[in-house]
Structure 1
Amino acid sequence: MALSALLALAMLLWSPPVGDLAAQVFRTELFQDAGLAIWNGSWYGGHYTLTYSVLFPPLAALLGPQVVGTLAVVSSSYLFDRLVRDRWGVEARWATLWFAAGVVTLLADGQLTFALGVALGLASLRCLQTGRGALVIATAAACPLASPVAGAFLGGVLLAGAAEPGRRPNRLAIAAGALSLTLVLVPNLAFPEAGHFPFVFSSYVAIPLWCAGALVLTQGVREEERALRRVLVAYVLAATVIWLAPNAMGGNAVRLGALFGGPVLAAVLLSRRPRPTVPTWFFAPLLVLAIAGSLYWQLTASVTQIARSVGDPSTKAAYFHPAARWLRVHGGEGMRIEVPPTANHWESAYLATKFELARGWLRQLDTTRDDLFYDEKKLTVDSYGAWLRANAISYVALPDAPLDYSSVAERRLILGEPSYLEPRFHSEHWRIYAVRDPKPLVAPLGTAAAEVLWFGRQGFALDVKRPGEFLVRVNFTPYWSIAHGKGCILHHGDWTVARANRPGVFRVAADFSVGRAWNAVTGAKKTC
């Protein structure tokens, strides 16, 4: 624990501005501004927030995101040490030191939400180990509410480890695992969104290769480590399904093996000292390869993230000030703006607090709603212009900073200055273009007439002059509620239609209720 605390403190003081940290900072600011909101209108034309994390934003708003991550990492180190020593003895102390250092990579990656989920998941396992039934259930419920990824891992580990054929199952473990998986599933039913996270073969294949090696290395203690070996097999099967069927988990599946694989394998080998069941000439190189591979697996993402952020000017708030000033003066606060995502994605935090961005920092949504940026054959001058108009984008702000891989082709296209982009501003780091003849965010249908009063993160308001229907180019959600005025909310494709029955202020906000949650589950397309 001391090692983890020392390294975590150093990381807290350094706080490298890695890409995933930008998302945590933005969600913390969103909670400070709107509380535990179910909707974020600053990215992607609007999307749900609670499927990302319920517990992290309020804790981060109270303590600061990096502090929450630091406390979670140190807690995880302590809990892992207790779990390992009680199961495998003091002989496994080097494994706990490995984990104490390795878990700090979550701070280096900026995966603070996941770090909180890991701490709660380890707390659930520790409570199970010590027979504290109520706390097992409580922490198993809290884990997916902190991080659905961690909750899925916890549920899978508990169920695979407890369900042993021919033996009496551990009912508490099964109940806790089922609860954790349920609380991953239920928010996704109540707040459904199409999207998938990329999971390339080179990432996937590490899981079956590593697990196969671990199964060979632990073959000599297969009776003592039946539960662990079941977890390894279940992990391979689950990862294979995730790889074959694109989904929101995607490449996040590697996190379990990358973080825990090496330390857990080391604990088993140090304490059990299994007798090799394969020739020494095969066992020894396999052991070396497993250890080296585990270290590489654990460290490579952190090294890559930090290297990407060092020296990147777009990780500083001041980098965005010239663009923000110009946009504010030229009406950008009432418009949708495309900023090609930078390599570290800090536009999603620094600009999204004041402006509505066409994109943001949620890969699952970006690959689905903006899929043309992930296929250069789809991204042409014509398709880009159609995308800008379809999404009611008024300005394109191009930074000179290193870009995300999905933005490289877009930058080349913008610099070619197609006819529908009019250069309006050029500074040291920014070029801003106006989209010629952009579609408005709010368009009257028929004879209706209204003035847009505000367009915000949680909804919109119109001053209706003539009643009727208005096409509002924000994503439809069954949670739209008419906070002021009389009328109805309908959908038109992905967009929203507001039907105002009388003149005056017509205000719409995203608001949770059980009835609206049921509408979301059943796919209802109107709120009247």
Structure 2
Amino acid sequence: MTTAEPGPGHGAAESTGMRGSDIGGDSVGSTRTAAPARKDAGAADTSAPRTGPSRRARAERLLRHPVTIATAAAAVTHLLWVLFFANSGGDLAAQDAWAEFVGRHPGTAYNLAWYGGMHPVSYSVVSPYLMSLLGVRTTMMIAGTVSAALTALILVRVRAVRNPLACSLAGAFAYLCNALSGRVTFGLGMMFAVGATAAVFCWPYRWRYKRWAKAAVAAPLAGLATASSPVAGLFLGVVAAALFLNKRRPGAYALGLAPVAVVALSAWLFPFSGTQPMSVATLSLPFIFSVLVFVLVPRDWKTVRTAAAVYGVGTLLTYFIDSQIGSNITRMAMLFAGVVFLAALPYTVPRSRRWYALIIAFTGLNFWIGFKGVDDIVRTAPTASWARELAPLVNELQQVGAERGRVEVVPASSHREASALAPYVNLARGWNRQADMKRNPLFYDDTLDSANYRQWLDRWAVHYVVLPTGTPDSSGAVQEAQLVDGGLPYLKPVWSDANWRLFEVDGPVPLADPPATVDRAEAGELTIHVKTPGRILIRIPYSRWLAVVDSEGRGVERPQETEASKQRTDENTPRTFVNTNGCLFKVEEDADGDEWTELLAPRPGVYRLAAPYQLSPGTPCPEEMR
């Protein structure tokens, strides 16, 4: 799979006068000339072109073309996924929740319904809004189909691939397995990532000297890939590194610079920290397959072998260095290793050791991704109660006023609570493993007991705990479920049915300290009533986007410097401000690592906190008022 750009002898339809649909699958890039029609003696002149057979031939070639077949296969299989296998659990639960949040609060930069507060952009810049517009499952169907088509296009245009149809179908299967696991956001990012790669490797031959135009297409697509899914941007970085190390700098810059810029900008504007776990078992398979790619493909496939080496080193670094990447690193091998093994097969002698090794590697890879996809469907399928019998629980939560604090729902194996209950109450947790491990480590370090569980409930101002029936999440909820089920002195049972048990926390810590009381805590806004002026501690992780807003959700005027302060002559004299509407401080980090929000309320009354997108984010208090 050499990565040389298509030359005039292959895949460059423009240089031969052929249209792209004329490229056959059996001899990629070859030109076929029809024999001239015979004229029988005495026959009428038939020199006028006859378009019927030519059009039929072109249509037949188009239908047999690898891109057409791969696109059709991907479209059909993704449609079957939508109809029969796309449940509401697992990763789909998280994506349903984000899509619903931005649908209800499109102008809000901070989601208060999960983990105290999370920026939608820290999850994805593009995906929540597109999923809200198109639908989560429709987005996956489109992304998977387009990705399969673009992958097939690359395989057809790369001269070293002798079996593009088989490789394209292997790619379509890999994208289907990604859909089975419910990775819509990642799938969307990969659609743009493969598009950016296609712009580099499938650039028309007649435009070969217009490198600025190639970069103008590839770089925005690379940026969109990263904005959709940072993991997809990371994989573009692997390709860019391989190109750079092989001295193909223009392509490397086109694919590699935009993702770095997107990550840096989003991390600055919407900071997020967390850790994605990665075990030795998770490390082993992608590392082994990267080594197999490096060893088994032809030696002159320099870019492919370099990419495999970069990826293999990256998997090792990801294991040893805690980061947000973690087990997500496996996805590149899952999508593309099988395609590479199959592409290398024609370069081996049949029934040789290398041939058998490629067959075994290809089979093992596809067994892995197929098993993983099916396992994700079975393991994360929500019980029927989440879809059909949720109303009694929601009604009870509303009756007891659960919206004045947070609610801890012991995570189910499907994580359906993250999307099913988030529209009604603010959850102490949600479904983001990185955030959960960062903010709630006691659920993962085997230290959970009755005492520190109570401390955790107080820390996050939890007023009610819900214990669903069914299997809890195996990674972060088994001990919690056992604790709650066994009975705790500070949890008072208040309601139950066949599917849920609701407990009230005895003497819960308020979401906002006195002299304030919480009227309502919603996903997009917190409303509190302040009885006397002063400083109010609010147990929401501070964000620069948090603002005091009016009843319409618009940010109020910030504290203004007084005229006397503006005209002061002594620079050592502190500035003075008029705080008419209230402002917010970031509280210094406490022993648990929390940086809460503090409201400086100038008067009694109702205050609303939200996070509207605006050029000057938030309503920060000047340092002189601290």
1:69 equivalent in structure 2:
140
2:405 equivalent in structure 1:
335
Task: Identify the range of structure 1 (477-486 vs 145-154) with the bigger mean alpha-carbon deviation.
Answer: 477-486
2:239 equivalent in structure 1:
157
2:449 equivalent in structure 1:
380
Partner-residue secondary structure (3-state), 1:40: coil
**For 2:81, which of 2, 7, 11 is the aligned residue?**
11
1:138 equivalent in structure 2:
220
The Cα shift of 1:514 comes to 6.0
Mapped to 1, the partners of 2:339 and 2:623 lie a distance apart of 49
Q: How does 1:23-422 map to 2 (within 5 A)?
A: 23-87=94-158, 88-89=160-161, 91-131=163-203, 132-164=214-246, 167=247, 169-218=248-297, 221-223=298-300, 225-270=301-346, 273-274=347-348, 280-281=352-353, 283-310=354-381, 312-314=383-385, 316-376=386-446, 378-405=447-474, 406-422=476-492
Mapped to 2, the partners of 1:363 and 1:207 lie a distance apart of 21
Instruction: Kindly provide the CA deviation profile for residues 142-166 of structure 1, in whole angstroms up to 9, marking residues without a partner as x.
Output: 11111111111112212322431xx
How many pairs are equivalent? 506
Which is richer in helix?
1
Identical positions, percent? 29
CA contact 2:124–2:230 (8 Å) conserved in 1: yes
Mapped to 2, the partners of 1:258 and 1:381 lie a distance apart of 41
**For 2:93, which of 1, 4, 22 is the aligned residue?**
22
2:42 equivalent in structure 1:
none
The alpha-carbon distance between structure 1 residues 526 and 370, as it changes in their structure 2 partners (threshold 3 A), is farther
Task: Identify the range of structure 1 (171-180 vs 405-414) with the bigger mean alpha-carbon deviation.
Answer: 171-180
Q: How does 1:453-472 map to 2 (within 5 A)?
A: 453-472=519-538
**For 1:487, which of 569, 572, 582 is the aligned residue?**
582
The alpha-carbon distance between structure 1 residues 244 and 475, as it changes in their structure 2 partners (threshold 3 A), is same
Task: Identify the range of structure 1 (350-359 vs 13-22) with the bigger mean alpha-carbon deviation.
Answer: 13-22
Task: Identify the range of structure 1 (328-337 vs 179-188) with the bigger mean alpha-carbon deviation.
Answer: 179-188
The alpha-carbon distance between structure 1 residues 78 and 394, as it changes in their structure 2 partners (threshold 3 A), is same
The Cα shift of 1:86 comes to 0.8
Task: Identify the range of structure 1 (257-266 vs 13-22) with the bigger mean alpha-carbon deviation.
Answer: 13-22
Mapped to 2, the partners of 1:194 and 1:91 lie a distance apart of 44
Instruction: Kindly provide the CA deviation profile for residues 95-150 of structure 1, in whole angstroms up to 9, marking residues without a partner as x.
Output: 11111122112221111111111111111111112333321122111111111111
The Cα shift of 1:380 comes to 0.7
Mapped to 2, the partners of 1:32 and 1:527 lie a distance apart of 37
Letter in 2 for 1:207: P
Mapped to 2, the partners of 1:391 and 1:380 lie a distance apart of 17
CA-based RMSD:
2.3
Mapped to 2, the partners of 1:479 and 1:152 lie a distance apart of 27
Question: What's the TM-score, normalizing by structure 2?
Answer: 0.77
1:501 equivalent in structure 2:
602
Partner-residue secondary structure (3-state), 1:296: helix
Partner-residue secondary structure (3-state), 1:207: helix
The Cα shift of 1:511 comes to 3.5
CA contact 2:126–2:228 (8 Å) conserved in 1: yes
**For 2:504, which of 434, 442, 459 is the aligned residue?**
434
Mapped to 2, the partners of 1:205 and 1:248 lie a distance apart of 19
The alpha-carbon distance between structure 1 residues 48 and 311, as it changes in their structure 2 partners (threshold 3 A), is closer
CA contact 1:312–1:402 (8 Å) conserved in 2: no
Partner-residue secondary structure (3-state), 1:82: helix
The unaligned stretches of length 5 or more in structure 1 are none
Rg (Cα) greater in structure:
2
CA contact 2:91–2:182 (8 Å) conserved in 1: yes
Instruction: Kindly provide the CA deviation profile for residues 251-276 of structure 1, in whole angstroms up to 9, marking residues without a partner as x.
Output: 00000001111112212333xx1469
CA contact 1:488–1:526 (8 Å) conserved in 2: no
Partner-residue secondary structure (3-state), 1:475: coil
Which is richer in strand?
1
CA contact 2:174–2:334 (8 Å) conserved in 1: no
Letter in 1 for 2:327: G
